[in-house]
Amino acid sequence: MILQTIRLRNFRNHDDLTCAFTAGVNAVVGANGSGKSSVIEAIMFLLFGEGYGSKATMLKAGEISGWVEGTVLFQDGKEARLKRELHASKVTLSYDGVDYVKAGDVKQLWDKLFQIDGNVFRNINVASQGEIPLLFSGDEAVRRAVFQKVFMVPNTNTIRNSVWNDYIKKAPSEYITLSDLEVQQKNKQAFDTALTIESTTRRLHALTTLTPDELATAQKEIFEAQRCINAQAQRKTLEETIVKTDKTIKTLKASIASCAADLAGAPELTLLSSLEKGCVTQKAQDEAQKATVAKLAALKRTLPNADDVTKANNAIATNTLLLNDLQSSVAIWSAELVTKESQRKKLSCVAGHKECPTCGSELHDVTPILKEIEAEAVVLKTNVAKTNVEIATTRRTIDADTRFLSSANTLQSQVVQLEALIHDVEPYDEAAHKNIEEAIVRLTGLTKQKTQLENDLKIAENNRANTIATLNGLPVFKSNTFSTAEDLIQWNNTIITSHNANVASDRQLRLEIQKATLIVEQIDRELKQSEANKQLNLKRKSYTDGLQKIYDVLHPSQFAAMLIKTYATTLEAKLTKYLSQFNFKYTVKVSDEFNMIVSNEEGDVLPKVSGGQAMVIGLSLRLALHDMFSQSLSMFCCDEPTQGLDTENQALLFELVENLKQSGIQQVIIIDHNTALSRVVDNCINL
């Protein structure tokens, strides 16, 4: 992949800068403060949408918009044009004849073409200003920070804290177990309790109780004997009840005969009922006639006179004509308003213009015309509003007159209906009606009384029969063993009392056995749980020890050292390859303490390296890391590599630049202030 061009618009301190790059080694040369480093940041932003700061900081101060645009040539010969804006989240890509404008589509294709992310590019493909000399700093913390950056060691503090807070601190507490002495005591307690269960079981088997059938027989004998005792007292009471019932029956029969004699000389109830209904009908007709006459008189008093009705009809006709005229006026004025509004809109489009926006011809001032149209519109709106008020008033007047006429017609119709209901009726005789009602009440009372007496007689006779049946059904005590019912009851109660005592003892002994059994089972569960907890504690210890090891390994210094140690063999092989290309006669290794250990051919470690040696080693290290992590993007950027180098070491750097052309990397971009760099690169851009 070759970055061909890049254009910066309002990026950092650049107004509008275009850089053209080639394959091989490119240099961007300029004085300090000329914005050289901004070119590398712009490349990062173009390719991956990220810089050293936010978009707001990359946008030139005082500007509201900016962008970075560039072209990239891929190995298959296809060219891509990419543009990212600083003032908005907009990105566009043209590739293989297709334009991509959706950010998601652009990212998907761009990731597929590059196959690395911005983090790899920023840490591997770009050597920041002053970064290489820091690899040889005497401060281990400084060296560690640089190594962690170039090796892309992740920050393990978050996951390390998660291991501590979410796992180690939340690990289950140690499970409770029994000591050997406690186990011995529990076993002894279980043995003693088993002996108690055996002794209690023998006592239980020695108890004797009644069988269910024997108990039921004893209870039944007590019940029957008690019935006989109760029957002796009940017999006398029943005999007295029969005597009283006989007297009641005699009295009821005499009362029934008296009622029958009174009813024999009275008229029939059906005839009296028919006469009473006729009186009720006459009374209802008489009252209805009087109510109708009164209602008719009241309605006639409320009827309006004919003159008022005529005036209402004339008023409705007049107001209807007026309403039609007012509505026509409103319609005309509304149409004129629409016309005025259309004229105002058309003139407003050219108001304030000296020339026509469409054809460009000279225009006169239309402001007076606009004011005249607006004034006429105000008059029309006022007329419409006033007329609408008159329309509403007229409609209310018409509605009131219409309701008046409707009410008058309704009243007249009701008068006609009531007049049709009035006719001659027979007068109502109140005294005759009262005599009939009294005769009905007396006859009805006698009939009800006779019926009630007959019902009472039946009840009394039924009660007498039931009492005799009850008396005949009373039990009589008979026994060959016991002379009285009381003796039988006493004997059976003694047997049942003994049985109940033994049953209570049986229940108590079984409860004691159950409790003792539960104690033995509980001891067994505790012993088994203690043994299971011992196994769980062994697993818990293994779990927490493993978490602690993970926690220790994730310490930032240990994790970085372990990661670098993992890469060591591959890294040293690639590092040796690039050092040989630069004709470097020493061997370089990376130690666990983040040191670059440099040895001569005899294996002696150099106590110190020169600035030039540091530059060779640092540059080779970055190229080796590029081989390991970023082969899919054959580009390498270096910012101010000559910073801090003397003349001799600058000359050595220029030799390294010559050798970079054979490194296998397709494109190298060097940012520096030294103009002499232009003599050893393939392409130089001066700022």
* Domain coordinates in residue numbering, the chain: 2-156+557-686, 274-421
Lay out the sheet containing 91-95: strands in order across: 14-20, 2-11, 67-73, 79-85, 91-95, 98-100
Q: Are 81 and 70 in contact (CB under 8 A)?
A: yes
Residues in the chain: 687
Does 3.30.365.10 match the CATH number of domain 2-156+557-686?
no
Q: Which of 119, 40, 53 is nearest to 86 (CA)?
A: 53
Q: Report the distance separating Cα 338 and Cα 326, nearest Å.
A: 19
State whether the Cα torsion 608-612-615-618 is positive or negative.
negative
Q: Report the distance separating Cα 619 and Cα 657, nearest Å.
A: 10
Lowest-pLDDT choice from 34-48, 383-397, 545-559? 545-559
Q: Are 673 and 37 in contact (CB under 8 A)?
A: no
Query: What tokens appear for 305 in the block?
Result: 């006179």
Lowest-pLDDT choice from 159-168, 204-213, 258-267, 442-451? 258-267
SS3 category, 24: strand
Stretch 117-122: mean pLDDT, rounded? Answer: 76
Q: What is the pTM of this model?
A: 0.45
Give residue 233's pLDDT.
80
SS3 category, 685: strand
At residue 357 the predicted structure's pLDDT band, cuts being 50, 70 and 90, is low
Give residue 2's pLDDT.
92
Give residue 592's pLDDT.
66
Q: Which of 238, 206, 59 is nearest to 51 (CA)?
A: 59
95-124 in b/e form (b: 16+ CB < 10 A) is: beeeebeeeeebeebbeebbebebebbbbb
Stretch 27-41: mean pLDDT, rounded? Answer: 91
Q: Report the distance separating Cα 458 and Cα 481, nearest Å.
A: 46
Q: Report the distance separating Cα 372 and Cα 13, nearest Å.
A: 56
Provide φ and ψ at 95, rounded to 5°: -150, 130
Q: Report the distance separating Cα 15 and Cα 38, nearest Å.
A: 12
Separation of CA 23 from chain center? 57
Give residue 6's pLDDT.
96
User: In the predicted model, is pLDDT for residue 647 greater than 80?
Assistant: no
Q: Are 243 and 471 in contact (CB under 8 A)?
A: no
Q: Report the distance separating Cα 630 and Cα 665, nearest Å.
A: 11
Query: What tokens appear for 79 in the block?
Result: 């060219």
At residue 21 the predicted structure's pLDDT band, cuts being 50, 70 and 90, is very high
User: In the predicted model, is pLDDT for residue 515 greater than 80?
Assistant: yes
Give residue 94's pLDDT.
95
565-600: pLDDT as tens digits: 777 788 788 888 877 877 788 888 877 666 778 888
Q: Report the distance separating Cα 658 and Cα 582, nearest Å.
A: 9
Q: Report the distance separating Cα 668 and Cα 659, nearest Å.
A: 12
Instruction: Please name every residue paired with 669 in a beta bridge, in sequence order, or none if there are none.
Output: 26, 637
Q: How far separated are the first and last CA of the chain, in Å rounded? A: 25
Q: Report the distance separating Cα 672 and Cα 679, nearest Å.
A: 13
Q: Report the distance separating Cα 687 and Cα 16, nearest Å.
A: 12
Class of domain 274-421 as given by CATH: mainly alpha
Q: Report the distance separating Cα 518 and Cα 525, nearest Å.
A: 10
Query: What tokens appear for 417 in the block?
Result: 């209906």
H or E stretch at 606: none
For 63: left if phi > 0, alpha if psi spans -120 to 50, otherwise beta; the answer is beta
Provide φ and ψ at 596, rounded to 5°: -95, 105
Instruction: Please name every residue paired with 431 in a beta bridge, in sequence order, or none if there are none.
Output: none
Share of the chain above pLDDT 70, in %: 91
Residue of 152 and 660 predicted with greater confidence: 660
Q: Report the distance separating Cα 484 and Cα 490, nearest Å.
A: 10
Q: Report the distance separating Cα 277 and Cα 574, nearest Å.
A: 132
Angle at 580 between CA 574 and CA 585, to 5 degrees: 120
Angle at 544 between CA 543 and CA 549, to 5 degrees: 100
Q: Report the distance separating Cα 163 and Cα 120, nearest Å.
A: 27
Q: Are 32 and 673 in contact (CB under 8 A)?
A: yes
Q: Report the distance separating Cα 447 and Cα 303, nearest Å.
A: 57
Q: What is the mean pLDDT of the chain?
A: 83
Residue 209's Cβ-count burial label (10 Å; 0-12, 13-18, 19+) is middle
Stretch 151-159: mean pLDDT, rounded? Answer: 70
Give residue 72's pLDDT.
94
Q: Are 405 and 317 in contact (CB under 8 A)?
A: no
418-471: pLDDT as tens digits: 777 776 666 767 777 787 777 777 778 878 888 898 898 899 889 989 988 888
SS3 category, 512: helix
